[in-house]
Amino acid sequence: MRPGISDKLQWAVDLHQQGRIAQAEALYQEILKVEPGHFDALHLLGVARLQGGNPEAALELIGRAIRINSRNADALTNLGNALRELGRHAQALTCYERALAIRPDAPESHYNRALTLQELHRHDAAVAGYERALALRPGYIEARYNRGVVLQDSKRHEDAALAFAQLLEVAPDCPYAAGKLGYLNLLCCDWRSYHDALARLIDDVNAGRRVCDPFSFTALSNTAAAQLACATTYAADKYPPAATPLWSGEHYHHDKIRVAYLSADFHEHATTHLMAGLFEHHDSDRFDITAISFGPDRQDSMRSRLVDAFDHFIDVRAKTDREVALLLRALEIDIAVDLKGYTQGGRTGILARRPAPVQINYLGMPATMGARYIDYIIADPRVIPPEDHPHYSEQVLYLPDSYQATDDRRQIDAHTPSRAELALPEDGFVFCCFNNNYKITPELFTIWMRLLHQVSDSVLWLLEDNPVATRNLRAQARLHGIAPERLVFAPRVPAGAHLARHRRADLFLDTLPYNAHTTASDALWAGLPVLTCAGETFAGRVAASLLDAVGLSELITHDLDRYAALALALARHPERLREIRTRLARNRGTCPLFATDRFRRHLESAYVTLWERLRRGELPATFSVMRES
């Protein structure tokens, strides 16, 4: 090494470790001008480029370094990291294996290998990898965090909750860990620390701390203002806007308006149960419709139906966020509709690069994204009343009926299983709630148990989501003086059979602060009345929106006392409930909620308005679509 090079390298490394990346890069480049084959400068410049979001450059630089020294475990690990960022997982795993063959006790190599396995959904192997990294470095916070995430993804909710509780003991300020624990405890229906933990979370969110992801927070928070604070912090931390947007004001000249729907759920899924009819009904003379699919390629009947429904169905699983964004820009998409938001499988990093002139948050994320590159959120006046506009970073695109799409082709099995087949009593009132377990709160459960006390021989029919929640809910029932067998759990079954079994229930009891969404639509489509309590957030007003659109507004209450009183009144006056069911059956074929083509026309009217505003050079602004006469 030439005199002075070693000093310059040490200076660059010091700057790099201080986070002064640009200055470190400049010094690495100076070294390479003098010594183009300098291993450390090539390797570390590649690492800096990777940290700066340029994995392609990192791959080239670190690859050159490895051609000089193929036995450096750190360089092999970092080459694997660049490959992983580029979606080349098999090659990344090979790099990690090579690194571990050289240095088997390197915790970083075990960690990054586990991260790649996690992205491939090889959960057990990923957990084992994180545990090996932790055995080598017990204080490895990232490994502890991601081990908890994998346990959650593999539905080992109780183990995941324990993992995050232990993480918080050693790193109480670990970003987002407290929110993960709060949400996992909801999934487990473990309410032992519910109120204290919730109060701390809300205080921390309002203080701008990184404690909870926005989707988990929708199940915990009951104010839109706090949800905006949570989303704004998260977006700035995880998905900041690109320094150079891919679309920068150009005008496209197409015969049709080009709309792309982005989702991980283009298969059998709650989202597609609602949206499939819309995709099929889009006006092909005026719109060119593209599916951008980054979820699993499940070869089910819904997947086949959707492939046929779209003009273009593009599987982008193997592409990075940047590559997908470049694809959207190359396709000259006018309107990009994100159906995931911050829900599981979402890829907000695509729209953070601003590939489309108009970018919309719809359906999957029932709250604000807190990101200025998302221009609009699709809503209706019930879920976002005008006074709540300040709590949304997006402008509001108001549809005239309900914001929620529905599919009027949804099939309900002709066969209705008997109550005995469903483990329900032949006689007696059946209160039902098929919402996910994380939506159940101790306040709601107390009301439900009181109803079981008041209505003799009644039962509560719940979705069987995970065995821990089932165990905890039955234990809670016992604490309320209710025999655990009066809680009946329904296993997951195919969609048609699930809809058919609703016929054996008497009344659907909604949850708060996170309402039934698709589950409310399911119940109403199957003819089961839904009783809701409207909350203070988008997520807590969805069932009210659906009930308005199906003509059953009398089932909307505005506080839990009235909710409990109406539930009891309906259970004690079966003639009143029969009249509501009869009206629901009559309305189903004529109401706005289940008029798929009417919804399509309203939504397409909105898209036309967006396109016209864009042509006129107008900035995003809240507007309402006129109701068809």
* Helical H segments across 507-572, by residue range: 518-525, 542-550, 560-572
Q: Which two tokens stand for residue 219?
A: 């199940």
Q: For residue 293, which of 256, 270, 329, 327 has the smallest C-alpha distance?
A: 327
Q: What is the pLDDT of residue 4?
A: 78
Give the model's confidence band at 628: pLDDT under 50 very low, under 70 low, under 90 confident, else very high. Answer: confident
Non-local (6+) Cβ contacts of 49 within 8 A are 25, 55, 57, 58, 61
> If we measure between CA atoms, which residue out of 164, 154, 223, 229 comes closest to residue 197?
164
Residue 229: closest CA among 349, 346, 368 = 368
Q: Which runs of consecutive H residues, i.e. helices, occur in 399-459?
A: 442-454
Domains of the chain, start order: 1-104 (1.25.40.10), 155-238 (1.25.40.10), 257-398 (3.40.50.11380), 430-593 (3.40.50.2000)
pLDDT category, 2, cuts 50, 70, 90? low
Identity of residue 498: H
| Tens digit of each residue's pLDDT (9 = 90 or more) over 310-345 | 999 999 998 999 999 999 999 999 999 999 999 999
CA-based nearest residue to 310, from 355, 253, 272:
272
C-beta separation of 306 from 277 below 8 A: no
pLDDT of 43 higher than 70: yes
Interhelix angle for 73-85 vs 89-102, to 10°? Answer: 170
Tally of residues, the chain:
629
Instruction: State yes or no: pLDDT of 3 exceeds 90.
Output: no
Each residue's pLDDT tens digit, 502-512? 999 999 999 99
Lookup: tokens for 331:
């396709």
Question: Contact, 444 vs 411, CB < 8 A?
Answer: no
**Cβ–Cβ under 8 Å, residues 323 and 56:** no
Mean pLDDT across the stretch 45-59? 94
Mean pLDDT (the chain, rounded): 97
pLDDT at 629 (0 to 100): 66
- Residue 116: Cβ within 10 Å count: 25
Angle between helices 596-615 and 270-281 (to 10 degrees): 70
pLDDT in tens, 388-416: 999 999 999 999 999 999 999 999 999 99
Q: How far is CA 31 from CA 16, 37, 49, 76, 450, in A?
A: 15, 9, 16, 22, 75
In 3D, which of 8, 82, 86, 81 has the Cα closest to residue 40? 8
DSSP-assigned beta bridge partners for residue 622: none
pLDDT reading at 490 higher than 70:
yes
Q: Are 448 and 431 in contact (CB under 8 A)?
A: yes
Of the pLDDT bands very low, low, confident and very high (cuts 50, 70, 90), residue 1 is: very low
